Amino acid sequence: MCGVYRWGAGPRQWPIRTTPATIRHTSSLQIGVHNTRTLVTETLIVDAASPQHKSPAFRYLPNALTEPAQQALVAEIGNILLSAPLFRPAMPRTGTPFSVQMTNCGRLGWVSDQAGGYRYQPTHPVTGRPFPSMPASLLAIWRAHAGWAAEPEACLINFYSGTAKMGSHQDRDEADLSAPVVSVSLGDEAVFHVGGTKRTDPKARLILRSGDILVLEGSSRLAFHGIDRVRTGTSRLIPDGGRINLTMRRVTASTAPTV
């Protein structure tokens, strides 16, 4: 198939680094990062005395993917975009377009529009074709980091360019809310925020960089989170710039929770 996405062809082998860095928001709101990579230059940690803080624990694996692995993944995404082009979702009810463009791979994909709202469906909302299958490289990342035996059914591909951002939200359109969400960052850096299970809970902020993996699981699975902004021009991974975020999810209930 010919197309516009010529993002290079990196190796198909995926050298995945497995050493995790865990950030836990303890009740005293100290953050521990078991890795040399910095948590944040812009960390905004809430008032440690705040009794309202819900202290989500999530797994942050900075620099989890090597540069060749990142390049190969961008090439894979380019192939996916040839048959499942980026579309711009819209908010339920208001129809306001998202600033982020999206597409999916996997058996199901997440979509949103004014008429149907947030949902998963097996077909691309513009082409009507089934979403392309999830590349083996992504499944390998899930197997290495999800801690969940059942395979992901959907991978949402977010593309941020210019001033695109993502408002604070919970991932709760899945029937199985116990399975983790595994998120991969590629390209430009982004300021990510994560709070508790109430929108008004205090939030921590960290910089997500290319090759970082974040796992929302356990008490953080339903944490409000989002992207405040992308730091344009901070990475050369994507030829025309921008940021790709991949989130792998279970959608239907899974019977085999742990590996």
Q: Where along the sequence are the contacts to ligand AKG (CB under 6 A)?
A: 156, 158, 166, 171, 183, 185, 190, 192, 208, 225-227, 245, 247
Closest by CA position to 73, among listed 149, 141, 152, 160: 141
Smaller CB distance to ligand AKG: residue 75 or 157?
157
Point out the residue whose Cβ comes nearest to ligand AKG.
Answer: 245
- If one counts every other C-beta atom within 10 angstroms of the C-beta of residue 250, the result is 24
Residue that has been written with the tokens 């951002």 in this structure: 165
Minimum CB separation from ligand AKG for residue 210, in Å? 12
CA distance 17 to 121: 32
Smaller CB distance to ligand AKG: residue 75 or 216?
216
With beta carbons less than 8 A apart as the criterion, state whether 165 and 229 touch.
Answer: yes
With beta carbons less than 8 A apart as the criterion, state whether 59 and 20 touch.
Answer: yes
Residue 238 Cα distances to 96, 103, 216, 224, angstroms? 27, 17, 25, 28
Minimum CB separation from ligand AKG for residue 171, in Å? 5
Minimum CB separation from ligand AKG for residue 214, in Å? 7
Minimum CB separation from ligand AKG for residue 185, in Å? 6
Minimum CB separation from ligand AKG for residue 216, in Å? 9
User: Which residues does residue 244 pair with via DSSP β-bridges, in sequence order?
Assistant: 159, 186
Minimum CB separation from ligand AKG for residue 205, in Å? 12
Smaller CB distance to ligand AKG: residue 21 or 27?
21
Smaller CB distance to ligand AKG: residue 76 or 189?
189
Smaller CB distance to ligand AKG: residue 53 or 243?
243
Smaller CB distance to ligand AKG: residue 1 or 192?
192
List b or e across 146-182, with b for residues whose CB sees 16 or more CB atoms inside 10 angstroms. bbbebbbbbbbbbbbbeebbbebebbebbebeebbbb
Smaller CB distance to ligand AKG: residue 11 or 233?
233
Indicate if the alpha-carbon torsion angle 147, 218, 244, 3 is positive or negative: positive
Minimum CB separation from ligand AKG for residue 2, in Å? 29
Instruction: Order the strands of the 213-216 sheet from edge to edge.
Output: 21-24, 57-61, 213-216, 181-187, 243-249, 154-160, 101-106
User: Which residues does residue 130 pair with via DSSP β-bridges, in sequence order?
Assistant: 123
